[in-house]
Structure formats: C-alpha cells, structure tokens
Structure 1
C-alpha cells in the first residue's frame, strides 16, 4: 500500500487497509482481486473526506466486473406436473376454439341443394321487394287518378297529379328500402 500513498490515497482507516491488503494478497494468489463495490464506495467516500484528487473511475480503471453465477434451485416436481397439466388443458381449449366450426359433415351441408336453397331465398326476397314497390307505386297512381276526378275535369291534370303522387310515394318507398338494407348490412 506504500505505492498507493504516492497516488494520493493518503492514510487509510485500519478496516479499509485490512480489506485492501486482503484483496491484494488474493490477487497474488489467483487471477485477480475480488473487491465488493460497497468497499469501493467506502474507499471513495474516505478519499473525498481527505480531499484527494483521485476519483472513483480512476480506482476502477483496468478492472472487470465479476458477476457470480446464480445457482437456480431445482424445480418442484409437483409444480412441474401441474404446469404441464395446465399447458395441456389450455392447448385443448385453444384447439376446440379453433375447430369449433369445423365438422366432418361440412361437405354435405354445403352441397348444391343447400346453396340453391340459399340463392332461392335471396332471389325470393328481392322479387318480393320489387313486387311490393311496383304494387305500392301503382296503387298510389290509381288512387290519385281516381280521386282527382272530383277535383280536375281535364284528363291531363288528373294524370299529372297521379304521376306526382306516385313519384313521391316511390321515392319514399326507395328511401325505406335503402334504410332497411343498410340496417341488414350493418347487422352482418
């Protein structure tokens, strides 16, 4: 430690001096000295109290960090068995969730007759909607034409009023159909 005094270490307290000598003796015996960082902090605090120009990074210059290997405790066999059961249960649940809509009778359900039935139902719905639209507009035209004979004497005025009322009813019917289809598409 005599060489350390020339670098500005100065007199050390006895406990720090003993720890430093033990670390240096260990260095002579083995590949390097193992010094705990807490001891280096104590040494640095002492040097600061003494007003030494030596900084902590200068003390650590050329040293390496030694991280002891952490020994993992052996795993509890009961815990390992329980974890395996939980993993197997979760895997089965995920498998069931993935395959819930798959069945061995799938090709029979999507045959041509089932597809034909779906198509017929959708075409039937469209035909009924169009028929309803035509009947509603025709009924509005007819009612207005027959009802306007009490108001107008000329045929042109009666036809014009019937066309106007039928157009308004047709537009209202189209609006209702568009809203209904929008609601059906939104539900999908």
Structure 2
C-alpha cells in the first residue's frame, strides 16, 4: 500500500522557489529538499503550511511529475513442514490420477498380442461383415429382379418397368439398412 511519493523535478524546482520566498517554511522544505521519497504525513504538513501562509501553489501542481512510492512487499519464508506436506499431497494426487487413467490397462493382455485366439476373433468379425454385406446386395438385387419381372403385367414400356424396379429395390434396400442399423445398435448395447 502506498504511503509516500517519489518526488520529481517539478517538485524540487517549486521547493527551491518556496525556500527563496518563504522563511517560515524553510526548515520543513530543507528537510524535504534532500529526499527523493516524501511520506504522506509530511505532504499533509506541507499542505497545511501552504494553506495557512496563503501561498498560491497547489499540491497537485507540486506533485504533477511525481509518482506514488509503492514499497516492495517482502514475502515471509515458507514453513518447511508445510512445503513437505504439500509435496506429499501433490505426489499422492498425481499417483491417484495415474491409477485412474491406467485402471483399464491389463499388462497380461498386452503380452499375448497376436495369438491364434485373437486371429480367430478377427476372422469371425470379418466373416460376419462380409456375410452381412453379401446378404444386403443379394436382397436388393432380388427385389429389383422381382419388381422388374412383376411389373411386366402393369407396364408395357421398358423404361417404366426399370423405374418401378429401382423404386422397389430402393425401398427394400432402405428397409434392410434400417434393420441392419438396429441390429448393430443391439450388438453394441445401445437402446
């Protein structure tokens, strides 16, 4: 917290002028002349003396180029017991965080990387995907063929028959995709 001013050149010039013109203030101002820092208490006295003697000098003019003096804050040394305890708590928290992050990592599983059982699981997974895609394609192609052949009783032009078959195959394909997505959601455990 500020308790004094660092005086500037303007203050020193004004003090010299006041020393020459006023003898009643000379003792107080001589004491101020040699200092570079003036406490607020002395500034109040100076202000009071200037008011009493009727001087036309105002404080804001005197301290125009001056600045507040902020003393340096001295931090007390930290308690070594407190520092040791804080370090222990930080280490404990870091250890808990590490355990939380690595709780689902199993080192035994990492050693068995690339076993025949893993290969079998991957083959079954790929086989299921291939069968699902093949089933989807066969269903859409069969829906197209049935619609194309069945629409010959309704439409005589080939263009109309192809459009009807494409529409029927698209509807069947979308229905098949819907069922496939719902099945996959069930496999993943989502509602």
Tell whether 2:114 aligns with 1:111.
Answer: yes
Assess if the C-alpha contact under 8 Å between 1:137 and 1:166 holds in 2: no
For the Cα contact (< 8 Å) 1:5–1:11, is it kept in 2?
no
Compare relative contact order (CA 8 Å, sep 6+) and give the higher one, 1 or 2.
2
Q: Is the Cα contact below 8 Å between 1:144 and 1:165 reproduced in 2?
A: yes
Equivalent residues in 2 for 1:76-91 (5 A)? 76-77=79-80, 79-91=82-94
Unaligned 5+ runs, structure 2? 1-12
- What's the CA shift string for 1:119-140, capped at 9, x where partnerless? 5414422431331331344146
- Using the size of structure 2 for normalisation, the TM-score is 0.52
Over 3 Å counting, the alpha-carbon distance change for 1:6 and 1:174 in structure 2 is: same
Equivalent residue pairs, number: 165
CA distance in 2, matches of 1:34, 1:41: 14
Compared CA separation, residues 23 and 120, structure 1 to 2 (3 A): same
Alignment of 1:39-188 (within 5 A): 39-40=42-43, 43=46, 50-52=55-57, 55-57=62-64, 60=66, 68-77=71-80, 79-108=82-111, 110-111=113-114, 113=116, 114=118, 117-118=121-122, 120-139=124-143, 141-142=145-146, 145=149, 151=153, 157=156, 163-175=162-174, 177=177, 180=181
RMSD value, Cα: 5.0
Cα distance 1:21–1:160, how it changes in 2: closer, same or farther (>3 A)? Answer: closer
Aligned partners of 1:144 and 1:162 also within 8 Å = yes
CA contact (8 A) 1:145 1:159 kept: no
Unmatched runs of 5 consecutive residues or more in structure 1: none
TM-score scaled to structure 1, two decimals?
0.53
What does the per-residue CA deviation read over 1:19-55, in whole Å, with 9 as the maximum and x for residues that have no partner? x55556xx5xxxx665225634764686587222863
